[in-house]
Structure 1
Amino acid sequence: MVLYKRWCKSTKEKDKRKHYWTYVEKVGGRDDICDDLAETVRSHYEPLERIAEDVNRLGYKFASEILRIAMPDTAKGRSGDLGEILATELVEEEVGLRVPVRRLRYKDGRNMAMRGDDFIGAGYDKKGEKLWLLKGEAKSNKVLSKATVNSARKVLNRDNGRCTPDSLLFIANRLLASNDPDDNDLGRSLRDEVGLKSLRAGRIDHMLFTVSGNGPHSSLKEDLDAAGTNRDHYVVNIHIEDHQDFIAATYLEAEDLGDD
């Protein structure tokens, strides 16, 4: 689903393998994507066809209750989850890799943060032969600070910059359980990588994704300037001035399945 091109104006700078992307909302952009964003948020917690089945069996009121229980009900939980959701959608829309598993569907508790990499993009090179990964860290803050940026970069650099094995295995096993042969092939490639660790740094990109009320803090550009050149680095900021109100309104809309 295309969200960003309708929602935001973007500025994209590139220096060799370093990408600095900033987004600000267009006038009327939020209204344009409101319904689609709500549906996107729902889809990260439950398959849309399962929600439709709940509606058919129970009606809108009780189906909405099931969905609400799957979603966080704290401001912190919602902020963190929405950061991961928006990052996932940006990777698929703007980078062109798949984020093949909606991992928020597998949370142990609605307000608990999941362990492992925040998001992983996966695909193959231009020839469709060699595995290509993107390791991502998402931060959503009313006020973005240098400390938050430094913390995110530290996480990206862990495991020698590789995706954590448990995160890759989590994704691989779910793809191998799919009925889609393409999912199975990608799952097999990811599972092989857990064992072989054969990918060079040049085929494991990094993304530091931020959503904030104060816009792109100067530390973001400083962080990118200090990054190495052995892989693609994406540093991204989505500036949402009413950050907390936006999150609250997004979840309120997502929880409301209607009544007809």
Structure 2
Amino acid sequence: MAQFNDWCFSVDEQVGNHFRRVMTGQAASIPIGIQATAAIVPAHYASEEQVARALARLGKPEAAALIEGKLPTTKAIRSGDLGEIYATEWIDGHSGGYRAPIKRLRWKDHRNMAMRGDDVIGIFQDPQTQRLHFLKTEAKSRVALTAQVLNEARAGLDKSDGLPSAHALSFISARLLELNQLPLADAIDDALLKHGISSQNVRHLLFTFSGNAPDALLTASLQAYPGPINQWGVGLRVEGHAAFIGAVYDRVVSDANNA
């Protein structure tokens, strides 16, 4: 987990019927944030089994090269990837029951290309009915967050009538089949092909990672939403955003070579 509570101060606020959380990295705890983040980044690009197999078969330098070869090298893609990683980690650890069933970045076409489709989809399965509830997520990472960036995120969330796209859910189902997670794959297929998905079973998450304060921007975005789907706005602010990202990826490479 990204251990947000160990290095961030959080403030929650209700915005009408919607929810906003702002997490601010504390200057004295930034090294903790870099360490905690670097510890979870490799698993978003390669499975633990793949790395362990490379380590056992080929040795430490080759396993480190495998990890490093999957990491993006451009600042823009690193920023976007880390925003998605943080959104995934927040869903898994702080959303109250939703889980991101796959780590999408493992299936990137190229390390310096962004993933297409819905950024992240969290899923909660009702233990009584076995029906699925979805957390459709757009993640944005910017040195300076702007209203225009949030408008772009809103446009993404509103696609497909605000529902998770059939393409994104089919992608998740196919990956779960490959991972032998058959019950959840079947439940996704049932939602797509048998039951259908209602807006009542969908929530939106707008997740931002920025160097400037997202409070007012997130509040304005939530207040402006006119639709029926419950909204969450979560912002992570880290001063020195670009330097922080660089330090995280440098630490990932260093840790891989010294494991």
Taking structure 2 as the reference length, the TM-score comes to 0.92
Aligned to 1:103: 104
4+ runs deviating over 4 angstroms:
none
- Structure 1, unaligned runs of 5 or more: none
Partner Cα separation in structure 1 for residue 200 and residue 42 of structure 2: 34
Bigger shift: residues 117-126 or 56-65? 56-65
State the Cα distance separating 1:205 from its structure 2 match.
Answer: 0.5
Say if 1:145 and 1:217, in contact at 8 Å, map to a contact too. no
For 2:191, which of 187, 190, 193 is the aligned residue? Answer: 193
Bigger shift: residues 228-237 or 204-213? 228-237
State the Cα distance separating 1:13 from its structure 2 match.
Answer: 1.1
Aligned to 2:81: 81
State the Cα distance separating 1:245 from its structure 2 match.
Answer: 0.4
Aligned to 1:59: 59
Is the alpha carbon distance of 1:80 and 1:197 closer, same or farther for their aligned partners in structure 2, counting shifts above 3 Å? farther
RMSD between superposed Cα atoms in Å: 1.9
Aligned to 2:257: 258
Q: Which amino acid aligns with 2:67?
A: L
Partner Cα separation in structure 2 for residue 219 and residue 150 of structure 1: 10
Say if 1:18 and 1:232, in contact at 8 Å, map to a contact too. yes
Say if 2:102 and 2:172, in contact at 8 Å, map to a contact too. yes
Is the alpha carbon distance of 1:14 and 1:166 closer, same or farther for their aligned partners in structure 2, counting shifts above 3 Å? same
Q: Which amino acid aligns with 1:59?
A: G
Aligned to 1:248: 246
Say if 2:139 and 2:206, in contact at 8 Å, map to a contact too. yes
Partner Cα separation in structure 2 for residue 193 and residue 48 of structure 1: 30
State the Cα distance separating 1:195 from its structure 2 match.
Answer: 2.4
Bigger shift: residues 30-39 or 146-155? 30-39
State the Cα distance separating 1:228 from its structure 2 match.
Answer: 4.0
Aligned to 1:135: 136
- Give 1:165-180 correspondences, 5 Å limit: 165-179=166-180
Number of paired residues? 257
Bigger shift: residues 121-130 or 169-178? 121-130
Write the deviation string for residues 144-180 of structure 1: whole angstroms up to 9, x where unpaired. Answer: 111101111011001100111111000011212333x
Write the deviation string for residues 124-152 of structure 1: whole angstroms up to 9, x where unpaired. Answer: 23646321001000000001111101111
